Amino acid sequence: MVYLSGSTPRRTPLRRLARVLLGLAAVSLIVWALASIPYDILRAERSRLFGEEVTSGLVLKLRTDEDPEHPHARVVIEYTYVDPDGYARRAEARLPDSLWRQYRPGRVVKVLLVKGRPDISRIPDEVEPAFQVWLRNLMN
């Protein structure tokens, strides 16, 4: 049906209100989605696309720490490693409870470094957020 100018049917106040509410809901959903993206994880995984280098590290401390997000991973180790530039760096890693005997202080561990960003490191058995694991699997 063709409407000439000035002859379009007017929207009822209820329809106008429904459109405004639908628009607000859509904008709110987009803002919420953008605010909930963990950008630090995205940056780290983007850097990992360039590859990882393997080095060795030394476990310094072993402790337990409760975390509601990871109830079966209470073991936290502090380790030190030397990056390709020769700088000694320290990092922490949360591990599953079943691996506490493998990571005693003084033990040598395998450390994965991001090429070009040696400050980003991880241990192969480290417990990571589900989003990070999903993103890494998606990119590989």
Among residues 74, 71, 77, 38, the alpha carbon closest in space to that of 57 is found at 77
User: What is residue 52's predicted lDDT score, i.e. its pLDDT?
Assistant: 83
> How many separate domains does the chain show?
1
Query: How does pLDDT run across 4-58, given as a tens digit for each residue?
Result: 666 667 788 999 999 999 999 999 999 998 888 887 777 777 777 778 888 999 9
Are 122 and 128 within 8 A, CB to CB? yes
User: What is residue 132's predicted lDDT score, i.e. its pLDDT?
Assistant: 81
Q: How far apart, in Å, do the first and last CA atoms of the chain sit? A: 52
Residue 132 is assigned to a structural domain of this protein: yes
List the domain range (segments joined by +) for residue 87.
Answer: 42-139
Please state the pTM of the whole predicted model: 0.66
Residue 124 is assigned to a structural domain of this protein: yes
Residue 48 is assigned to a structural domain of this protein: yes
CATH of the domain at 74: 2.40.50
Query: How does pLDDT run across 98-115, given as a tens digit for each residue?
Result: 888 888 999 999 999 988
Residue 9 is assigned to a structural domain of this protein: no
User: What is residue 1's predicted lDDT score, i.e. its pLDDT?
Assistant: 57
Residue 24 is assigned to a structural domain of this protein: no
Residue 47, judged by CB atoms within 10 A of its CB (0-12, 13-18, 19+), counts as: middle
